[in-house]
Amino acid sequence: MAYADQDGMSSSRLVSIIIVALLHAFLGYALVTGLAYEAVQQVKAKLNVVDVKEEEPPEEEPPPEPEKQIEPPVVSPPPLVTTVTPPPTVRTVDTPPPAAPIVPTAAPPAPSAPPPPPPPVAKRPNPIPKGNPGNWANTNDYPSRALQQEREGTTGFRVTVGPDGRVQSCSITSSSGHADLDDATCKNIQRRGRFDPALDGNGQPTTGSWSSRVRWQIPK
């Protein structure tokens, strides 16, 4: 009995061992397979593998349809129409002869008027004073010596005036009786006298003479 129990115990133990071994093998296979899958996924993520899809070629557009040529309509030429006109009739008419051309006759020239007579030449034998001759010798020109001695008198003189209207020379025609009064007369007349000169027969300025008197009187 003891032997038989021992034999039965060893066979059941062997079965258990086999079952445990199979379980371990199955678990190891499963473990190895799972670890390998995770390793592959990690390597794939590191490499950043991208699946490239080939692009499909674009579809070709169909060729355009050829334009239809429109044929021009056929036009028939218009019918030829011939018209026959009769020849013109020519009538002869007696035409009068052309009148003689009218030639204008020039009026006789009017008698020419005689030319106007030339204007008379302004002749002036003597020069004419410009301004007031009484201002040419005045009391301000009184000689101081004659004034102190209270000498008075009237001096007559004659001046020769050139074509420019200025006095060229002076001469005493009647003395005042005092030489200083006579000298003062000609001196101031020559210095201040201005004239319109005398004119000759052609109206040109010429030399002339002019006479007058200066009265020397002490103012009261």
Which pLDDT does position 219 carry in this prediction?
Answer: 83
**What digits encode the pLDDT tens for the residues 38-52?**
654 664 555 444 444
Alpha carbon distance 135, 137 (integer Å): 6
Alpha carbon distance 214, 154 (integer Å): 6
Which pLDDT does position 117 carry in this prediction?
Answer: 73
Q: Is the pTM of this model over 0.85?
A: no
Q: Contact at 8 Å (CB) between 167 and 183?
A: no
Q: CA neighbours within 13 Å on the CB side: how many for 207? A: 6
Residue 147 clears pLDDT 80, i.e. is over it: yes
The residue whose two tokens read 């093998």 is 25
Residue 133 clears pLDDT 50, i.e. is over it: yes
Which pLDDT does position 204 carry in this prediction?
Answer: 94
Q: CA neighbours within 13 Å on the CB side: how many for 114? A: 3
Instruction: State phi, psi for 83 to the nearest 5 degrees.
Output: -110, 135
Instruction: State phi, psi for 184 to the nearest 5 degrees.
Output: -65, -30
Structure tokens at 110: 């009017």
* Window from 54-58, 109-113, 153-157 with minimum mean pLDDT: 54-58
**What is the average pLDDT across 178-194?**
96
* Window from 21-25, 55-59, 127-131, 155-159 with minimum mean pLDDT: 55-59
Q: Which residues contact 141 (CB under 8 A, 6 or more apart)?
A: 184, 188
User: What pairs with residue 205 in β-bridges?
Assistant: 199
Alpha carbon distance 119, 125 (integer Å): 18
**What is the average pLDDT across 107-122?**
69
Residue 97 clears pLDDT 90, i.e. is over it: no
Residue type, 190: Q
Which pLDDT does position 114 carry in this prediction?
Answer: 77
Residue 130 clears pLDDT 60, i.e. is over it: yes
Alpha carbon distance 215, 213 (integer Å): 7
Instruction: Report the chain's C-alpha Rg in angstroms.
Output: 81
**Ramachandran bin of 48, using left for φ above 0, alpha for ψ from -120 to 50, beta for the remaining angles:** left
Which pLDDT does position 157 carry in this prediction?
Answer: 97
Alpha carbon distance 19, 220 (integer Å): 188
